[in-house]
Amino acid sequence: TASTDTPTCPTLIGPSDFQIWRLWITAKLQREKVRGVALGTDTCPITSLSIPGTTTTAPEVQKWMERNERAHGIIQDSISDALLLKMEMHTTAKDLFDALLSIHQVSSLASAFYIFQQLLHSSAQL
């Protein structure tokens, strides 16, 4: 577990704070050793019951599920209540992280384009 003097991740509210939130949450997930679960590089092992000849055991699946729950909780703790309500259908850490990335990266791009248009418009008036 992380020490109590670890800095707190800021709360993700919207597109304006997404980039800094993404850096903080990725670092926090790394410190907690669950970043791979959220990014999808640490996937749930398939149990030996489902595929004959595999060696994965139920305890390995259980450990992954615990890591997924920890990563999911860390992400949920760092988003606003409004986002939490919108994201409740995403039950794995990867699904939740991907959903947050998709809505905020698009929003960030749109807001950057809007700001760019405003700059062009204001410089044309000079």
- What torsion, rounded to 10 degrees, do the Cα atoms 48, 53, 55, 58 define? 10
| pLDDT higher than threshold 70 for residue 60 | yes
Cα–Cα distance measured from residue 15 to residue 103, given in angstroms and rounded to the nearest whole number: 9
Over residues 94-108, the mean pLDDT reads 85
pLDDT (tens digit per residue) in 22-59: 999 999 999 999 999 999 999 988 755 555 666 667 88
- pLDDT of 50 reads 57
How far apart CA 83 and CA 2 sit, in angstroms, is: 25
Q: For residue 71, which of 35, 104, 41 has the smallest C-alpha distance?
A: 35
Q: Could you state, in order of their start, the residue ranges of all structural domains in the chain?
A: 15-124
- Mean pLDDT, residues 51-76: 85
Residue given tokens 């997924």 in the structure block: 68
> Taking all residues of the chain, what is their mean pLDDT, rounded to a whole number?
84
What is the value of pTM for the model shown? 0.74
More confident site: 73 or 115: 73
67: pLDDT strictly greater than 80: yes
Phi and psi for 37 in degrees, rounded to 5?
Answer: -65, -45
Q: Tally the C-alpha atoms within 13 A of residue 69's C-alpha that lie toward its C-beta.
A: 6
